[in-house]
Amino acid sequence: LGLLPSGVCDDATFLRRLTVDLCGRLPTADEVRAFLADGSADKRTKAVDRLLDSSDYAAFFAMRWGAILRNSNLAGADQAAYAFHNWLKDLIARNRPYDELVRGVIAASGEWQDAPAINWYWQSRDDQLHQVTADTSQVFLGLRLQCARCHHHPYERYSQEDYYGLAGFFTRLGRKSFGQPPPYFSSAAATTGEKNPLTNKTPEPKYLDGEYAKFTSEQDPRHGLVDWMVQPDNRYFARVFVNRYWGHFFGRGLVHEVDDLRETNPPSNPELLAALAKDFTESKYDMKKLVRTLVNSKLYQLSSEPTDGNKHDRQNFARFYGRRFISEVMLDAVDQATGTKTKFSGISAVGRAIDLPHEGFGSYFLDTFDRPRRVSGCECDRSSAATLAQVLLLANSDEIENKIGDGSGKIAKLVKENRPLNEALDDIYLGALSRLPTAIERAKTTEFVERLPAAERQKGLEDVLWTLVNSKEFMFNH
């Protein structure tokens, strides 16, 4: 295509980018200093391994998967939502294979204490058969089959028969009449009155691109569905996971949107997607191995600064695509930069926004920055668009003013410690932007603060921090 890639990003940019993408937080000032001082050739690889082994990695991806899998406290499922979140976090921390996660969700049975993932079914209780069918196909296969429930689009691969064939794997899913969520089980007979409009019979299980399946009354058809999904020759299972993670780390999927792998929406680089999916399958669905492959690549480490040769590129990854922080990361970043802590009832005193197990924790900040309501399995439940309310919250709200001016916050501590202005500015920049100020920035901010009366020096430093928090560089992973 004649696109020349941007150069490799500097060390400070890489550490910030990596820490945000792997752990959902900014690197600490000490982490940045240590990384910049490390002269070893493999320090970026070592940083990847260190962050992947941290508890922050598991917490962040448990939150991301919890949103995709509708882990909500609606209909009294508060305890189940905590349990589901912790189950995801433990599975990710131990780097259990991805197919184990999928089986634990799709084939969940029993009470929520033993099978927390039944909260996924409970949150679809109002349209259990069709919502579960749609989410299974979109989340785990990257196929949006919802429209095929009613008609077959002439340009798409799968038909109404395929849709009801997938629904057939869930027609024997039963639930008890007590508890929120109640126990779920695999029934010996159909538990739904839904009919396949093509046959006027209860939908029968059918593999996509395959034959109808038969199961005895003792067998759980959902296990049969997962067995088919995880076969090495399944054309969707590994590809949609790889594409979803590619989208997370690179800002856009090889297929856009990340969960829309239909025939009429081809990848920008089919060979790359196929190679990564093959490697992921051969690794027995090792999630950390895939993550290492992505973030250790030169592609991930490209600068986000466009050049004349790639400034119009939007899908071929000739540079790193900067993107806005998601709501939870944004709140935690503001807390970290200001040296304050947002308190949430019901979780640990040191818990952050990325540690929240569900969406039911009141926060005007999170809602303003588009926290997902967890009523959809689509990544589009989040929006990256900026709003006037977000601008006003950061620039002109009591919440941000109070964080910056907090008596126990970063600026107050720097003043109480009587830190030299040069050192104070270093700490402020490292905490907010994960880098030291440039010579021009240092000169301008020093001049700004020093011209103030001594009694107003603290207000001057607060203004510097306010400026950084409201900068594009702070709000974007770049």
Residue 193: partners with Cβ closer than 8 Å, 6 or more residues away: none
Mean pLDDT of 338-349: 94
CA 255/CA 241 separation, integer angstroms: 11
Mean pLDDT of 168-188: 96
| CA distances for 423 relative to 152, 188, 441, angstroms | 65, 70, 14
Confidence of residue 448 (pLDDT cuts 50, 70, 90): very high
Q: What is the pLDDT of residues 101-145, one digit of tens each?
A: 999 999 999 999 999 999 999 999 999 999 999 999 999 999 999
Percentage of residues in the chain having pLDDT higher than 70: 100
Task: Tell me the CA end-to-end span of the chain in Å, nearest whole number.
Answer: 24
Q: What is the pLDDT of residues 204-240, one digit of tens each?
A: 999 998 999 999 999 999 999 999 999 999 999 999 9
**Average pLDDT, rounded, for the chain:** 96
- What does the pLDDT read at residue 326? 96
Q: What is the pLDDT of residues 362-385, one digit of tens each?
A: 999 999 999 999 998 888 888 878
Residue 170: partners with Cβ closer than 8 Å, 6 or more residues away: 128, 129, 132, 133, 136, 221, 222
- What does the pLDDT read at residue 435? 97
| CA distances for 462 relative to 104, 150, 341, 392, 420, angstroms | 49, 58, 17, 18, 15
Mean pLDDT of 50-62: 98
- What does the pLDDT read at residue 17? 98
State how beta strands 476-477 and 323-324 pair: antiparallel
Nearest by Cα to 412 from 353, 315, 331, 338:
338
CA 212/CA 235 separation, integer angstroms: 18
CA 6/CA 103 separation, integer angstroms: 41
Whether the per-residue pLDDT at 2 is higher than 90: the answer is: no
Confidence of residue 1 (pLDDT cuts 50, 70, 90): confident
- HSE toward the beta carbon, residue 175, CA cutoff 13 A: 23
Whether the per-residue pLDDT at 96 is higher than 80: the answer is: yes
- What does the pLDDT read at residue 381? 81
Whether the per-residue pLDDT at 153 is higher than 90: the answer is: no
Mean pLDDT of 26-42: 97
Mean pLDDT of 394-420: 96
- What does the pLDDT read at residue 25? 98
